[in-house]
Chain A
C-alpha cells in the first residue's frame, strides 16, 4: 500500500488520506460472491447471458426492468440491434415503474378508506334509508348502453373500421391500434346516438383477432359490433362510402348522415405515407380529410389522428354538426387554437 501512496504526487493532505484502501475492501469481498454467481444458471446460455447483461445494466443505472418475463426476454433476444434491445428494455422499465406507482397509490387509497370509515358497524345495525331510487349500479348503466348499442345495430348509421392493415404494422403498432380500437368502441357505446360499428376485412385468427381476444376476453363475443371478413365494398353500396384519410385531396365540408365513413385501422409510427389513400384509390372510393387547417391554427404534429379521436369527432359531428365542438378532440398540443369564427365562415 505504501508503494501506492508514493506514486501519488498529491499535496500534503493526501498523505493523511488512505486513497487506495477501498480497493482492498473490494478485493476482500470478492470470494463469497464468486461462489454465489457460479452456482446457478441452468438455462439456455443465451437467455442466461441476456439476463446477466440486463442485471449489469441495472446496476450501472440504465433504464431496465427489475423483473422480466420469459416472453419479454424472448422478444428481447430476437430484436436485431443493440438500439432495439435498449429501446425495448426502456419501454419495459417505464411500464414497470408505472405499474408500481399505480399499485402504491391503490394501497394508499385503500388505507385511507379504511381509516375514514372503520368497519365497526355491523350489517344488522344499519338503518335503511328512505330513497326514491335504488342505487344506480354500473351494471344498470351497462344495460342501458347495451340497449342503445343494440338499437344502433338495427337502425344506426354504419361506421366502418378497415382492418386490412395487419401487414403494415409492427407488434407495438398493432398493440396500440387495438388499444385505440377499444377506446373507440367504448366511446361509441357511451354516446347518445351510437354508430353501428363494422370491423371489415377482419381476418379470423389474424393478428387483430388474437390481440382483441386478449384484451376483451369473454366480452369479445358479446360485443354489439358487426365483425366481418368481407370488405366494406361488399357490404355497402360503393357510392355511399367515404374513406377518411389525412392524405386525401378533398376536404370534408360537413357530416353527411347518409354516407358511410371508413376509418383505416392503422397506427403508423414509421413513414409509410399514403397507404390508406392508396387503398381508397385501388377500390375507387371517395376520400375526405378533416378540415383541420380551416378551423385550427396547426402548429406541430402529424394531421393523422388516433382512432378514438376520430370516433369522438364523428360522434360529435353527428349529434351537433358543429365543427368547433367536434374538433375539440384534436390534441391541444398540436394546434395553437381555433381560427377566427367569422373568418372561417367567410371562406
Chain B
C-alpha cells in the first residue's frame, strides 16, 4: 500500500491511460454479485470506430477553410451594436461558424466509467471485487473517484473505508480526503465533523485541498468557527483562495457575525484576492435582514469596489442589490431594469450617465504610460527606433491637432474583395467631406507602387490628409495611439483592431482600465462598407459603462446570464435605482 502511494501521481496518470485495457476483457466474466455494475468500455466504441486522427485532420482543414472564408467575405463585421458590447465577439464567432457551416468535431472520450456499487458491500465482497480488478493498482482511489463522479450514497463509501480499515488497520490520508469530498458534496455534516476530528488528531497539518474541503463543509454547520481556525492555518504558508475566504465570510454572515465577515472581506481585498460574486450577493442578501448603518456603509463600500475595479455584477447579484435598496426603510428606492440609448440617457430616470471622457489628470497619466510602456517598453528598438520616434514626434508637433487618426493598413484590409488603396481612399474621402483633419498612418511599402497600392490612389489621398509612413519592420499601432492622445481628447482613431496586445503592455491594472475606457470613447470601427456606396461607422458611446451614483440614483450595469461576455466587452443592461 505504501509503495503504491509514494509514486501516486505517476500511477494515476498511468491508470487514466490504461485502465481500459484491464477492464475490457474481464467485463464479460463477472460473478453474479457484481451484476449491478455497469460498464461502458472502449469495447462498445470499438464496434463503430471513429478514427481519432481522421477526426482531427478533418477539423484542422476545417479551421483553415474558416480562415479563408473570413478573408473572402470581408463584411463579417456588420453587427448592429458596438464592438465593446457584451456578446459582440460571440456574435462574430457564430457568424464565422455559420459561414463555414462547420460540423463540430466528434470528440470521443476514452475514459472508461465504472459505476460503483449501489449498496454497501462487506469487506469480503470488496476483497473479491478488488481481486477482479487486480489490473487497477490503486483500486480504492479509483473506486472513490468513480463514487465522486457518480455521487454515490455515502454508505457505500463508508463500507469501502471499513473494508480498508479491516484489512490494513489504517486508512490513507488520500482516501480520507476523497471521502471528505463525497461528504461535503452531499452535506453530511455529522460525517464532516468526524473526519475533521480524525484528521486533526492524526495529522499535524493539513494540506490545502483538505483544508478547503473542511472549510467548505464546516462553514454551513454549527461548528463554523472551526472553519475560521482552518483558514488561519492555511494563511501560514499560502494566501487562501477566494473560495476559502468566501466560505468563511458566508458562514460569518449567516451567523450574524457581521464584524468578522467585514474583517475577512477587507483582509482578502488587501491581499488582492478577488471575491466571488456570490459572496457579494450574500452580503446584500444579509443586508435585507440587518438594519445597521455600519453594515449599510459596508454595502456601499462593496458597490464602490465594483466601480473601482470595473467588476460587473451578474443577474443574481443585481437582483440582490435591487432588493436590498428597495428594502431600506424610509428611503423609498425604486429599481428598474433598462438598456441605455446611445445618447447616454437612462430611459427610466431620464438622467445622463457619466461621460466616457477621461479627466485631464487621467488623460495625462494615460498618455505618459502609453509612451513609457507601449512605445518604449523594455527596448525602444522592439517596436520602432529612437530616430523614427523622434521624426514622428516632430511630425506630430509641427501640425495642428488632428480630428481623426486612421490606421491605414487596417482600414484598407476591411474588404478583401476590394483593392486596399481604393478602400482607404473611400474612407479618407468620406471623412474629409465632413471637414475633419485626418492623419493616416501606414508603412513605407505602401509607397512602392504595386497592384495593391495604386500610385494614383496614394497621391490622391496624400492631397487630402496628412500621412506618416513608418518603417516596414516597425509597428504602426503605437504611433496611432500616440498621435491620437497627442491631439487631445476630441481626437478619435479608426481601426478594427481591438488593441488587446497594447493594453497588455501596460504595467498596472488601473492604467489598463483607463486605456479601455479611453478606447471605448475614442475608437471608431468601420461597421459597414460597400465599395463606393456605403460607409458606416459604429456609434462611439459617450457614456461610461461602470457602477455609478449621483447620491439619489444608482446606475449599475450587469451581465445578462444568457449572454457570454468577453473581457474586452462591457455589459449592455443596466439596473437603474432611483429615490422617490
Closest 10 CB pairs of A and B: A22-B165, A278-B381, A56-B207, A61-B8, A59-B173, A63-B9, A278-B382, A19-B158, A30-B201, A25-B165
Complex-state Cα separation, A30 to B198, whole angstroms = 8
Quote the shortest CB–CB distance from A24 to chain B (angstroms): 9
**A22-B161 CB under 8 A given contacts A61-B12, A66-B6:** yes
Contact of A11 among B119, B209, B210 (CB under 8 A): B119
Q: Is the CB of A29 within 8 A of B202?
A: yes
Complex-state Cα separation, A210 to B194, whole angstroms = 54
Q: Which of A243-287 contact B (CB under 8 A)?
A: 249, 272-275, 277-279, 281-282
Q: Is the CB of B9 within 8 A of A61?
A: yes
**A249-B204 CB under 8 A given contacts A13-B119, A19-B162:** no
Quote the shortest CB–CB distance from A64 to chain B (angstroms): 8
Cβ–Cβ < 8 Å partners of A171 in chain B: none
Closest A residue by C-beta to B168: A25
Contact of B171 among A7, A16, A22 (CB under 8 A): A22
Tell me whether A133 is interfacial, beta carbon within 8 Å. no
**Which of A17, A52, A53, A61: most chain B Cβ within 10 A?**
A61
Overall SS of chain A's interface:
helix
Quote the shortest CB–CB distance from B8 to chain A (angstroms): 4
Q: Is the CB of B204 within 8 A of A52?
A: yes
Complex-state Cα separation, A18 to B163, whole angstroms = 10
Tell me whether A205 is interfacial, beta carbon within 8 Å. no
Q: Is the CB of B162 within 8 A of A22?
A: yes
Tell me whether B7 is interfacial, beta carbon within 8 Å. yes
Quote the shortest CB–CB distance from B1 to chain A (angstroms): 12
* A-contact bits for B160-190, CB 8 A (1 contact / 0 none): 0110111001111110010000000000001
Cβ–Cβ < 8 Å partners of B155 in chain A: 8, 10, 14, 19
* A-contact bits for B222-254, CB 8 A (1 contact / 0 none): 000000000000001111010000000000000
Q: Is the CB of B202 within 8 A of A26?
A: yes
Cβ–Cβ < 8 Å partners of B120 in chain A: 10, 13-14, 17, 19
Complex-state Cα separation, A37 to B200, whole angstroms = 12
Complex-state Cα separation, A7 to B158, whole angstroms = 14
Quote the shortest CB–CB distance from A30 to chain B (angstroms): 4
Quote the shortest CB–CB distance from B172 to chain A (angstroms): 7
Cβ–Cβ < 8 Å partners of A8 in chain B: 155
Q: How many residues of A contact B (CB 8 A)?
A: 51
Q: Is the CB of A275 within 8 A of B158?
A: no
Q: Is the CB of A282 within 8 A of B381?
A: yes
Cβ–Cβ < 8 Å partners of A20 in chain B: 158, 162
Tell me whether A50 is interfacial, beta carbon within 8 Å. yes
Q: Is the CB of A277 within 8 A of B202?
A: no
Complex-state Cα separation, A279 to B381, whole angstroms = 7
Tell me whether A49 is interfacial, beta carbon within 8 Å. yes
Complex-state Cα separation, A13 to B121, whole angstroms = 8
Q: Is the CB of A60 within 8 A of B122?
A: no
Cβ–Cβ < 8 Å partners of A63 in chain B: 9-10
Tell me whether A113 is interfacial, beta carbon within 8 Å. no
Closest A residue by C-beta to B236: A49
Q: Is the CB of A61 within 8 A of B174?
A: yes
Q: Is the CB of B238 within 8 A of A82?
A: yes
Complex-state Cα separation, A49 to B172, whole angstroms = 21
* A-contact bits for B484-525, CB 8 A (1 contact / 0 none): 000000000000000000000000000000000000000000
Q: Is the CB of A278 within 8 A of B379?
A: yes
Q: Is the CB of B9 within 8 A of A59?
A: no
Closest A residue by C-beta to B12: A61
Tell me whether B472 is interfacial, beta carbon within 8 Å. yes
Quote the shortest CB–CB distance from B503 to chain A (angstroms): 14
**A30-B236 CB under 8 A given contacts A19-B120, A275-B379:** no
Q: Is the CB of B473 within 8 A of A277?
A: yes
Cβ–Cβ < 8 Å partners of B379 in chain A: 275, 278-279, 282
If A17-B122, A20-B158, A82-B238 are given as contacts, then 9 extra A-B residue pairs at C-beta distance below 8 Å, sorted by A number, are A10-B155, A22-B171, A25-B170, A26-B198, A30-B198, A53-B208, A61-B8, A279-B379, A282-B379
Contact of A46 among B10, B202, B237 (CB under 8 A): B237
Closest B residue by C-beta to A280: B381
Cβ–Cβ < 8 Å partners of A275 in chain B: 379, 382
Cβ–Cβ < 8 Å partners of A21 in chain B: 162, 165-166
Cβ–Cβ < 8 Å partners of B338 in chain A: none
Closest A residue by C-beta to B238: A82
Q: List 26 A-B contacts (CB under 8 A).
A: A14-B120, A17-B159, A19-B159, A20-B158, A22-B158, A26-B171, A29-B202, A37-B204, A49-B236, A53-B207, A53-B208, A57-B207, A59-B5, A59-B207, A60-B173, A82-B238, A82-B239, A93-B9, A272-B378, A275-B379, A275-B382, A278-B379, A278-B382, A281-B381, A281-B385, A281-B473
Q: Which of A84-128 contact B (CB under 8 A)?
A: 85, 93, 97
Closest B residue by C-beta to A59: B173
Using a CB–CB cutoff of 8 Å, the interface residues on chain A facing chain B are 7-8, 10-11, 13-14, 16-23, 25-27, 29-30, 33-34, 37-38, 46, 49-50, 52-53, 56-63, 66, 82, 85, 93, 97, 249, 272-275, 277-279, 281-282
Complex-state Cα separation, A104 to B154, whole angstroms = 42
Complex-state Cα separation, A19 to B194, whole angstroms = 13
**Which of B120, B203, B204, B210: most chain A Cβ within 10 A?**
B204
Tell me whether B418 is interfacial, beta carbon within 8 Å. no
Cβ–Cβ < 8 Å partners of B473 in chain A: 249, 277, 281
Complex-state Cα separation, A50 to B164, whole angstroms = 30
Tell me whether B206 is interfacial, beta carbon within 8 Å. yes
Q: Is the CB of B9 within 8 A of A62?
A: yes
Q: Which of B4-18 contact A (CB under 8 A)?
A: 5-10, 12
**A277-B237 CB under 8 A given contacts A21-B162, A23-B198, A53-B205:** no
Q: Is the CB of B177 within 8 A of A60?
A: yes
Closest A residue by C-beta to B474: A281
Complex-state Cα separation, A46 to B203, whole angstroms = 18
Q: Is the CB of B202 within 8 A of A30?
A: yes
Cβ–Cβ < 8 Å partners of B194 in chain A: 23
Q: Is the CB of B201 within 8 A of A27?
A: yes
Tell me whether B132 is interfacial, beta carbon within 8 Å. no
Complex-state Cα separation, A75 to B239, whole angstroms = 17
Complex-state Cα separation, A10 to B154, whole angstroms = 10
Closest B residue by C-beta to A23: B194
Tell me whether B298 is interfacial, beta carbon within 8 Å. no
Q: Is the CB of B173 within 8 A of A26?
A: no
Quote the shortest CB–CB distance from B183 to chain A (angstroms): 13
Quote the shortest CB–CB distance from A311 to chain B (angstroms): 26
Quote the shortest CB–CB distance from B195 to chain A (angstroms): 9
Complex-state Cα separation, A60 to B8, whole angstroms = 9
Cβ–Cβ < 8 Å partners of B12 in chain A: 61
Cβ–Cβ < 8 Å partners of B177 in chain A: 60
Closest A residue by C-beta to B206: A56
Cβ–Cβ < 8 Å partners of A282 in chain B: 379, 381
Complex-state Cα separation, A229 to B507, whole angstroms = 33
Closest B residue by C-beta to A16: B122
Cβ–Cβ < 8 Å partners of A279 in chain B: 379, 381
Q: Is the CB of A22 within 8 A of B164?
A: yes
Cβ–Cβ < 8 Å partners of B205 in chain A: 49, 52-53, 56
Complex-state Cα separation, A59 to B33, whole angstroms = 33
Closest A residue by C-beta to B179: A22
Q: Is the CB of B5 within 8 A of A61?
A: yes
Tell me whether B66 is interfacial, beta carbon within 8 Å. no
Contact of A60 among B6, B171, B198, B209 (CB under 8 A): B209
